[in-house]
Amino acid sequence: KERKIIITIDGWSSCGKSTLAKELAAELNYIYVDSGAMYRAITLYFLRNHIDWTDLAAVHEAMQNVELEFVYNPAHCRSEMHLNGENVEYVIRDLVVAEKVSDVAAIKEVREFAVAQQQRMGNNRGIIMDGRDIGTVVFPDAELKIFMTADNAVRVERRFQELYKKNPNVTLEEVKNNLELRDYIDSHREVSPLRQAEDAIILDNTNLTPEEQFHKALKLAKERIGQFAV
Ligand code: CDP
Ligand code: CDP
Protein backbone atom coordinates (compact mmCIF):
# COMPACT_ATOMS: atom_id res chain seq x y z
CA LYS A 1 0.00 0.00 0.00
CA GLU A 2 1.28 3.48 -0.82
CA ARG A 3 2.18 5.58 2.16
CA LYS A 4 2.10 9.36 2.06
CA ILE A 5 5.43 11.07 2.58
CA ILE A 6 6.63 14.59 3.37
CA ILE A 7 8.44 16.52 0.63
CA THR A 8 10.39 19.66 1.50
CA ILE A 9 11.63 22.22 -1.02
CA ASP A 10 14.08 24.80 0.30
CA GLY A 11 16.29 27.24 -1.51
CA TRP A 12 17.12 30.77 -2.57
CA SER A 13 14.47 33.34 -3.29
CA SER A 14 12.64 33.16 -6.56
CA CYS A 15 14.18 30.03 -7.98
CA GLY A 16 10.91 28.23 -8.71
CA LYS A 17 10.15 26.47 -5.42
CA SER A 18 6.47 27.27 -5.26
CA THR A 19 5.92 26.57 -8.96
CA LEU A 20 7.36 23.09 -8.48
CA ALA A 21 5.66 22.44 -5.13
CA LYS A 22 2.22 23.34 -6.50
CA GLU A 23 2.54 21.08 -9.55
CA LEU A 24 3.87 18.15 -7.52
CA ALA A 25 1.08 18.50 -4.96
CA ALA A 26 -1.57 18.52 -7.68
CA GLU A 27 -0.07 15.42 -9.32
CA LEU A 28 0.35 13.44 -6.08
CA ASN A 29 -2.85 14.72 -4.48
CA TYR A 30 -0.86 16.16 -1.58
CA ILE A 31 -1.38 19.37 0.37
CA TYR A 32 0.85 22.27 -0.72
CA VAL A 33 1.96 24.78 1.90
CA ASP A 34 3.84 27.98 1.06
CA SER A 35 5.63 28.67 4.34
CA GLY A 36 6.96 32.01 3.07
CA ALA A 37 3.39 33.30 2.88
CA MET A 38 3.19 33.05 6.67
CA TYR A 39 6.28 35.24 7.19
CA ARG A 40 4.98 37.66 4.59
CA ALA A 41 1.56 37.88 6.32
CA ILE A 42 3.14 38.51 9.72
CA THR A 43 5.28 41.24 8.12
CA LEU A 44 2.16 42.80 6.61
CA TYR A 45 0.53 42.81 10.06
CA PHE A 46 3.58 44.50 11.61
CA LEU A 47 3.74 47.13 8.86
CA ARG A 48 0.03 47.95 8.99
CA ASN A 49 0.01 48.21 12.78
CA HIS A 50 3.31 50.10 13.01
CA ILE A 51 4.86 47.46 15.24
CA ASP A 52 8.47 48.19 16.15
CA TRP A 53 9.87 44.69 15.61
CA THR A 54 13.22 45.54 17.13
CA ASP A 55 11.32 45.64 20.45
CA LEU A 56 10.79 42.01 21.50
CA ALA A 57 8.04 42.89 23.98
CA ALA A 58 6.12 44.65 21.22
CA VAL A 59 6.60 41.61 18.99
CA HIS A 60 5.31 39.32 21.72
CA GLU A 61 2.22 41.42 22.24
CA ALA A 62 1.54 41.74 18.52
CA MET A 63 1.84 37.99 17.95
CA GLN A 64 -1.11 37.40 20.30
CA ASN A 65 -3.27 39.11 17.68
CA VAL A 66 -2.05 37.28 14.60
CA GLU A 67 -4.07 34.39 13.25
CA LEU A 68 -2.96 32.75 10.01
CA GLU A 69 -4.95 30.30 7.97
CA PHE A 70 -4.57 28.77 4.51
CA VAL A 71 -7.99 28.76 2.86
CA TYR A 72 -8.60 26.77 -0.30
CA ASN A 73 -9.99 28.89 -3.13
CA PRO A 74 -11.61 26.61 -5.73
CA ALA A 75 -11.72 29.43 -8.29
CA HIS A 76 -7.92 29.64 -8.26
CA CYS A 77 -7.32 25.95 -7.42
CA ARG A 78 -4.99 26.92 -4.60
CA SER A 79 -4.82 27.71 -0.91
CA GLU A 80 -4.60 31.39 -0.11
CA MET A 81 -3.15 33.10 2.92
CA HIS A 82 -5.66 34.64 5.30
CA LEU A 83 -4.55 37.03 8.03
CA ASN A 84 -7.15 37.43 10.78
CA GLY A 85 -9.86 36.36 8.35
CA GLU A 86 -8.77 38.60 5.47
CA ASN A 87 -7.46 37.15 2.21
CA VAL A 88 -3.99 38.71 1.87
CA GLU A 89 -2.60 36.34 -0.79
CA TYR A 90 -2.21 39.13 -3.35
CA VAL A 91 -0.97 42.00 -1.17
CA ILE A 92 1.75 39.95 0.60
CA ARG A 93 3.55 39.54 -2.77
CA ASP A 94 4.18 43.29 -2.91
CA LEU A 95 7.77 44.55 -2.87
CA VAL A 96 6.90 46.67 0.20
CA VAL A 97 6.41 43.43 2.15
CA ALA A 98 9.39 41.72 0.47
CA GLU A 99 11.65 44.55 1.61
CA LYS A 100 10.98 43.82 5.30
CA VAL A 101 10.12 40.13 5.42
CA SER A 102 13.65 38.85 6.00
CA ASP A 103 14.08 41.08 9.06
CA VAL A 104 10.79 39.85 10.52
CA ALA A 105 11.53 36.21 9.65
CA ALA A 106 14.79 36.42 11.62
CA ILE A 107 12.92 37.00 14.92
CA LYS A 108 12.91 33.92 17.15
CA GLU A 109 9.35 34.31 18.42
CA VAL A 110 8.02 34.80 14.89
CA ARG A 111 9.77 31.62 13.73
CA GLU A 112 8.55 29.58 16.68
CA PHE A 113 4.98 30.65 15.94
CA ALA A 114 5.25 29.77 12.23
CA VAL A 115 7.16 26.51 12.69
CA ALA A 116 4.66 25.16 15.26
CA GLN A 117 1.78 25.77 12.87
CA GLN A 118 3.73 24.26 9.94
CA GLN A 119 4.49 21.11 11.92
CA ARG A 120 0.79 20.67 12.81
CA MET A 121 -0.07 20.86 9.11
CA GLY A 122 2.29 17.96 8.45
CA ASN A 123 0.88 15.66 11.14
CA ASN A 124 -0.74 13.34 8.59
CA ARG A 125 2.10 13.59 6.05
CA GLY A 126 0.99 13.86 2.39
CA ILE A 127 2.35 17.40 2.36
CA ILE A 128 4.76 19.44 0.23
CA MET A 129 6.12 22.56 1.88
CA ASP A 130 8.51 25.10 0.42
CA GLY A 131 10.63 27.63 2.30
CA ARG A 132 14.09 28.05 3.78
CA ASP A 133 14.26 25.78 6.84
CA ILE A 134 11.68 23.12 6.03
CA GLY A 135 14.09 20.22 5.52
CA THR A 136 16.42 21.33 8.33
CA VAL A 137 14.08 22.50 11.12
CA VAL A 138 10.40 22.00 10.35
CA PHE A 139 10.51 18.42 9.02
CA PRO A 140 14.03 17.05 9.61
CA ASP A 141 12.59 13.54 9.09
CA ALA A 142 11.03 14.29 5.67
CA GLU A 143 11.38 11.41 3.21
CA LEU A 144 12.32 13.67 0.26
CA LYS A 145 14.21 16.94 0.57
CA ILE A 146 14.94 19.09 -2.45
CA PHE A 147 17.26 22.09 -2.38
CA MET A 148 16.60 24.40 -5.31
CA THR A 149 18.96 26.84 -6.83
CA ALA A 150 19.43 28.83 -10.04
CA ASP A 151 21.84 31.52 -11.24
CA ASN A 152 21.25 34.92 -9.66
CA ALA A 153 20.58 36.76 -12.90
CA VAL A 154 18.01 34.17 -13.94
CA ARG A 155 16.21 34.40 -10.60
CA VAL A 156 16.14 38.20 -10.73
CA GLU A 157 14.72 38.15 -14.25
CA ARG A 158 12.02 35.62 -13.30
CA ARG A 159 10.85 37.62 -10.28
CA PHE A 160 11.06 40.91 -12.21
CA GLN A 161 8.75 39.55 -14.91
CA GLU A 162 6.19 38.56 -12.26
CA LEU A 163 6.25 41.86 -10.39
CA TYR A 164 6.31 43.96 -13.55
CA LYS A 165 3.00 42.46 -14.63
CA LYS A 166 1.42 43.78 -11.44
CA ASN A 167 3.25 47.09 -11.32
CA PRO A 168 5.05 48.52 -14.38
CA ASN A 169 6.92 51.00 -12.15
CA VAL A 170 9.03 48.27 -10.64
CA THR A 171 12.67 48.23 -11.80
CA LEU A 172 15.05 45.34 -12.40
CA GLU A 173 17.53 47.04 -10.05
CA GLU A 174 15.03 47.10 -7.16
CA VAL A 175 14.20 43.43 -7.62
CA LYS A 176 17.87 42.50 -7.84
CA ASN A 177 18.70 44.41 -4.66
CA ASN A 178 15.79 42.84 -2.81
CA LEU A 179 16.70 39.26 -3.76
CA GLU A 180 20.36 39.79 -2.84
CA LEU A 181 19.47 41.37 0.50
CA ARG A 182 16.98 38.64 1.42
CA ASP A 183 19.31 35.84 0.42
CA TYR A 184 22.04 37.40 2.54
CA ILE A 185 19.86 37.90 5.64
CA ASP A 186 18.14 34.52 5.25
CA SER A 187 21.42 32.62 5.07
CA HIS A 188 23.22 34.58 7.82
CA ARG A 189 20.57 34.86 10.54
CA GLU A 190 21.08 33.16 13.88
CA VAL A 191 17.79 31.25 14.09
CA SER A 192 17.41 28.50 11.46
CA PRO A 193 19.33 30.09 8.61
CA LEU A 194 18.81 28.94 5.03
CA ARG A 195 21.12 26.04 4.41
CA GLN A 196 21.01 22.82 2.50
CA ALA A 197 20.05 19.79 4.61
CA GLU A 198 22.75 17.12 4.47
CA ASP A 199 20.33 14.66 2.92
CA ALA A 200 18.82 17.11 0.42
CA ILE A 201 19.01 16.59 -3.34
CA ILE A 202 20.14 19.67 -5.27
CA LEU A 203 18.01 20.80 -8.18
CA ASP A 204 19.59 23.59 -10.22
CA ASN A 205 16.95 24.85 -12.63
CA THR A 206 18.93 27.63 -14.33
CA ASN A 207 18.45 25.88 -17.65
CA LEU A 208 15.27 23.97 -16.92
CA THR A 209 11.75 24.88 -17.91
CA PRO A 210 9.05 24.42 -15.27
CA GLU A 211 7.98 21.22 -17.13
CA GLU A 212 11.51 19.79 -17.05
CA GLN A 213 12.00 20.49 -13.36
CA PHE A 214 8.59 18.98 -12.65
CA HIS A 215 9.44 15.70 -14.38
CA LYS A 216 12.78 15.43 -12.58
CA ALA A 217 11.20 16.03 -9.19
CA LEU A 218 8.23 13.77 -9.86
CA LYS A 219 10.60 10.91 -10.65
CA LEU A 220 12.39 11.47 -7.33
CA ALA A 221 9.09 11.64 -5.46
CA LYS A 222 7.80 8.41 -7.01
CA GLU A 223 11.02 6.60 -6.14
CA ARG A 224 10.78 7.71 -2.54
CA ILE A 225 7.09 6.91 -2.24
CA GLY A 226 7.87 3.44 -3.63
CA GLN A 227 10.62 2.93 -1.04
CA PHE A 228 8.32 3.88 1.78
CA ALA A 229 5.39 1.71 0.70
CA VAL A 230 4.13 -0.62 3.43
O1 CDP B 1 8.99 33.36 -3.03
P2 CDP B 1 10.22 34.03 -2.50
O3 CDP B 1 11.44 33.25 -2.77
O4 CDP B 1 10.34 35.45 -2.88
O5 CDP B 1 10.12 34.09 -0.91
P6 CDP B 1 9.08 33.42 0.06
O7 CDP B 1 9.20 31.95 -0.01
O8 CDP B 1 7.75 34.04 -0.14
O9 CDP B 1 9.67 33.87 1.46
C10 CDP B 1 9.73 35.23 1.84
C11 CDP B 1 10.71 35.37 2.99
O12 CDP B 1 10.20 34.67 4.13
C13 CDP B 1 12.10 34.80 2.77
O14 CDP B 1 12.97 35.72 2.12
C15 CDP B 1 12.54 34.51 4.19
O16 CDP B 1 13.01 35.68 4.84
C17 CDP B 1 11.24 34.11 4.88
N18 CDP B 1 11.08 32.66 4.99
C19 CDP B 1 11.74 32.02 6.02
O20 CDP B 1 12.49 32.64 6.76
N21 CDP B 1 11.53 30.69 6.24
C22 CDP B 1 10.72 29.98 5.45
N23 CDP B 1 10.52 28.70 5.71
C24 CDP B 1 10.06 30.62 4.38
C25 CDP B 1 10.28 31.96 4.16
O1 CDP C 1 8.82 30.02 -4.92
P2 CDP C 1 10.02 30.71 -5.49
O3 CDP C 1 10.19 32.08 -4.98
O4 CDP C 1 11.27 29.91 -5.33
O5 CDP C 1 9.82 30.84 -7.06
P6 CDP C 1 8.49 30.79 -7.95
O7 CDP C 1 7.57 31.85 -7.52
O8 CDP C 1 7.99 29.40 -8.03
O9 CDP C 1 9.10 31.10 -9.39
C10 CDP C 1 9.51 32.39 -9.77
C11 CDP C 1 9.24 32.56 -11.26
O12 CDP C 1 10.14 31.75 -12.02
C13 CDP C 1 7.84 32.15 -11.70
O14 CDP C 1 7.33 33.16 -12.53
C15 CDP C 1 8.06 30.87 -12.47
O16 CDP C 1 7.13 30.68 -13.51
C17 CDP C 1 9.45 31.05 -13.03
N18 CDP C 1 10.15 29.78 -13.29
C19 CDP C 1 10.78 29.57 -14.49
O20 CDP C 1 10.72 30.44 -15.34
N21 CDP C 1 11.46 28.41 -14.74
C22 CDP C 1 11.55 27.44 -13.82
N23 CDP C 1 12.23 26.33 -14.08
C24 CDP C 1 10.93 27.65 -12.57
C25 CDP C 1 10.25 28.85 -12.32
Pairing of β 144-149 and β 6-11 = parallel
CA of 19 to the centre of ligand 2 (A): 6
Ligand nearest, relative to CA of residue 131:
1
CB 4 within 8 A of CB 107: no
What is the arrangement of strands in the sheet containing 31-34, beginning at the earlier edge strand? 31-34, 127-131, 6-11, 144-149, 201-204
Ligand 1 centroid to Cα of residue 230, in Å, is: 35
CA 75 / ligand 2 centre spacing (Å): 21
ipTM for the assembly: 0.97
Q: Is-contact 33 99, C-beta < 8 A?
A: no
| Residue whose CA lies nearest to ligand 1 atom number 6 | 36
| Residues 225, 16: Cα–Cα separation, whole Å | 23
Its sign, for the CA torsion 182, 185, 188, 194, is negative
109-125 confidence digits (pLDDT tens):
999 999 999 999 999 99
The residue type of 90 is Y
Separation of alpha carbons 218 and 211, rounded Å: 10
Give CATH for domain 6-224.
3.40.50.300
First to last CA, the chain: 5
Domain-by-domain residue ranges, the chain? Answer: 6-224
Q: Using CA positions, which residue lies closest to atom 23 of ligand 1?
A: 131
> What are the 10-residue block averages of pLDDT along the chain, 230 residues in total?
92 96 96 97 98 98 98 90 98 96 98 98 96 98 97 97 95 97 97 96 97 97 89
Look at strands 86-87 and 78-83 and give their pairing.
Answer: antiparallel
Q: Is the pTM of this model over 0.95?
A: yes
